[in-house]
Amino acid sequence: MPGRRTIGVDMGGTKLLAGAVDAGLGVHHRAQRSVAGLDQAALLEVAVDAVDEARDSADGVVAAVGFGIPCLMDQRTGTAVIAVNLPLAGMAFADVMAERLGLPVFVDNDANLAALAEHRAGAAAGTSDAVVLTIGTGIGGGLILRGDLYRGSIGSGAELGHMVIDVNGPRCQGNCPNRGCLEALASGTALAREARRIAAERPDSGLGRAAAEGLELAGPAVTELAHDGDPAALEVIELIGTRLGVGVASLVNIFNPQVVVIGGGVMAAGDLLLEPARRIVAERVLPPSRDVVRIEAAHFGVEAGMIGAAALAFDGLAMRGEGLA
């Protein structure tokens, strides 16, 4: 007889991924939805629909739902305070979704949950101190410090994508009031912006021809061209990887982690992105932190947040004394 499942939901800036997950973190069904351009009411409806699909196909009793949302949280009240790239603000998110779904709901920042998954069974397994960055529409951050997930004093900590790497840099996106954030310069959004700029400067390149043909110069297209060897696309990935390395170097100097795990959709570029980042870290980080840190791709890839959300739900049930039976 199948054991109990939880549903993990990862809300990104443009996509939502839900999955039915067992206690060993195996995924039994996935449901994906677009959330680009939705208002708050429509976003919640899409989330409910995806959870219902995963629950109907779960092959086991679903006991709870975990949500990872790209939002600053106030864990004292369970309130989603503000999201940079989604229409969520001032909402008791867990209570609202529990009422709609008729199941216990647990919620945390999406990158925190990616860090939870990678520490529990992924690229950060066996470490005591790790930094996790998720690179998609924006850049999320999660910290494992002395073996525990670090959330800050009220649950809004580890917004690593909003560390400043250029004091005179561009305005950050969405609801962030800052300038020159890592997110503004090294996210998937930044990659697309740089791709459009370089395509315009080099119209005879593969990137330039793709732009002229009307292809959307987002991460997947740029990454494919880079893997095919187009110099302009490679230049874009190199630039984003270098900027990422500047941010990672500061994080390594501050936290002295054993590993920095990079996940999210932009990691489809693989070592084309990671090698420039590793080079910058080797050049800029103080010893001995420089000599012990590893820069690795997320083991769970783009599913890290979803799997971590499911793990959060299992943890929440255990704290209530409900176990796995």
Q: How far is CA 246 from CA 94, 140, 163, 186, in A?
A: 36, 16, 11, 10
Mean pLDDT value across residues 151-163: 92
- Determine phi and psi for 156, rounding to 5 degrees: -110, 15
Rounded to an integer, the average pLDDT of 66-85 is: 84
In the chain, DSSP assigns E strands to 5-11, 15-21, 27-34, 62-69, 71-74, 79-83, 89-91, 105-109, 130-135, 139-145, 148-150, 259-263, 294-297
Total domains in the fold of the chain:
2
**pTM as predicted:** 0.92
24-65 pLDDT, tens digit each: 999 999 999 999 889 999 999 999 999 999 999 888 799 999
- Strand extents, DSSP E, 181-293: 259-263
Q: How confident is the model at residue 323 (pLDDT cuts 50, 70, 90)?
A: low
CA 158, CA 150: separation in Å to the nearest integer? 7
Residue 179 placed within a domain? yes
User: DSSP secondary-structure letter at 161?
Assistant: G
Residues 100, 199: one domain?
no
Percent of the chain scored above 90 by pLDDT? 83
| CATH code where residue 90 lies | 3.30.420.40
In a domain, 324, yes or no: no
Mean of per-residue pLDDT scores for the chain? 93
Determine the pLDDT at residue 231. Answer: 97
> Which token pair is 124?
């950060």
Neighbours of 220 (CB within 10 A): 14
**Can you tell me the mean pLDDT for 228-243?**
98
Give the domain extent around 163: 124-298
- Give yes or no: residues 81 and 154 share one domain: no
Residue type, 160: L
Is the same domain home to 173 and 290?
Answer: yes
Q: What is the mean pLDDT of residues 310-319?
A: 94
pLDDT in tens, 165-203: 999 999 999 889 999 999 999 999 999 999 999 999 999
